[in-house]
């Protein structure tokens, strides 16, 4: 009789242990639904984003094959981005409207990361192409560059090539401003001028 009770209690304990074990197993389908801390808040394909200033003025337009937004630190990753910087150089800002704005620069790269303080870090085949025919700077090429989208300052610590009106320059570092169409190259600077007669 004692043996039977031990056997019955043993079977019940074994069944409860198996049930408890099955409750603690991760369900693969549910685990895929839970967002991991280092994963993006959202992912978009073939997106176009328009960014406005606090006063409601368009600042830039970004197009990308893929966009990933991370809410933890507020940065956004763009894959194969094309960013159009808008020129707001109208003489009277109070009378300026959206039709006065035009695209002044096109920025392209393999990847870009936009921080919440409007710093655009570009990497891989970076090209800044002026869309204004009268611009002194026409094209800037590098492997990495950072553009402050508020001030339009551009910097690079990798080899840079600049094409301008009647000149081509290269150097190892760059500091400049797209809006003012100025660029300062540093270290091993070489410049070739084309003289028009």
Lowest mean pLDDT among 12-26, 36-50, 126-140, 178-192: 12-26
DSSP helix, strand, coil percent of the chain (3-state; round to 5): 15, 50, 35
Indicate if the pLDDT at residue 31 is higher than 50: yes
Q: Is the pTM of this model over 0.85?
A: no
All domains of the chain in start order, with CATH:
40-193 (2.60.450.10)
> Does pLDDT of 140 surpass 90?
yes
Output phi, psi for 174, to 5 deg: -140, 135
More confident residue, 35 or 107: 107
What gap in Å lies between CA 68 and CA 90, rounded to an integer? 34
Q: What integer pLDDT is reported at residue 99 of this predicted model?
A: 46
**Confidence at residue 139, expressed as pLDDT on a 0 to 100 scale:** 95
| 70-125 confidence digits (pLDDT tens) | 988 889 999 999 999 987 654 334 444 444 568 899 999 999 999 988 899 999 99
Question: Helices marked H in the chain — which ranges?
Answer: 2-23, 28-31
Average pLDDT over residues 130-157: 93
Which residues, other chains included, contact 3 with Cβ-Cβ below 8 Å and sequence gap of 6+?
none
Q: Where are the beta strands (DSSP E) in 58-166?
A: 58-70, 75-79, 82-87, 102-108, 111-114, 119-130, 137-148, 153-156, 160-164
| CB-based contacts of 27-35 (< 8 A; 24+ apart in sequence) | none
> CB-based burial of residue 49 (10 Å sphere; 0-12 exposed, 13-18 middle, 19+ buried)?
middle
Q: How far is CA 42 from CA 39, 69, 70, 184, in A?
A: 9, 6, 7, 38
Distance of alpha carbon 66 from its chain centroid, rounded?
A: 10
């Amino acid at each position: 009789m004692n043996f039977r009770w031990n056997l019955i209690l043993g079977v019940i304990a074994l069944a409860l242990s198996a049930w408890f074990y099955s409750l603690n197993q991760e369900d693969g389908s549910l685990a895929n639904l839970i967002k991991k801390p280092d994963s993006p808040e959202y992912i978009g394909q073939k997106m176009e984003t328009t960014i406005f200033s606090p006063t409601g003025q368009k600042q830039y337009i970004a197009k990308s094959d893929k966009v990933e937004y991370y809410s933890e630190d507020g940065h956004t990753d763009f894959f194969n981005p094309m960013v159009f910087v808008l020129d707001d150089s109208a003489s009277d800002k109070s009378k300026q409207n959206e039709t006065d704005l035009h695209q002044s620069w096109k920025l392209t790269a393999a990847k870009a990361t936009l921080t919440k303080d409007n710093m655009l870090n570009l990497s891989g085949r970076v090209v800044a192409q002026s869309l204004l025919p009268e611009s002194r700077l026409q094209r800037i090429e590098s492997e990495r560059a950072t553009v402050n989208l508020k001030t339009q300052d551009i910097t690079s610590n990798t080899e840079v090539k600049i094409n301008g009106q009647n000149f081509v320059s290269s150097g190892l570092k760059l500091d400049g401003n797209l809006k003012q169409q100025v660029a300062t190259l540093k270290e091993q600077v070489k410049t070739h001028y084309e003289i028009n007669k």
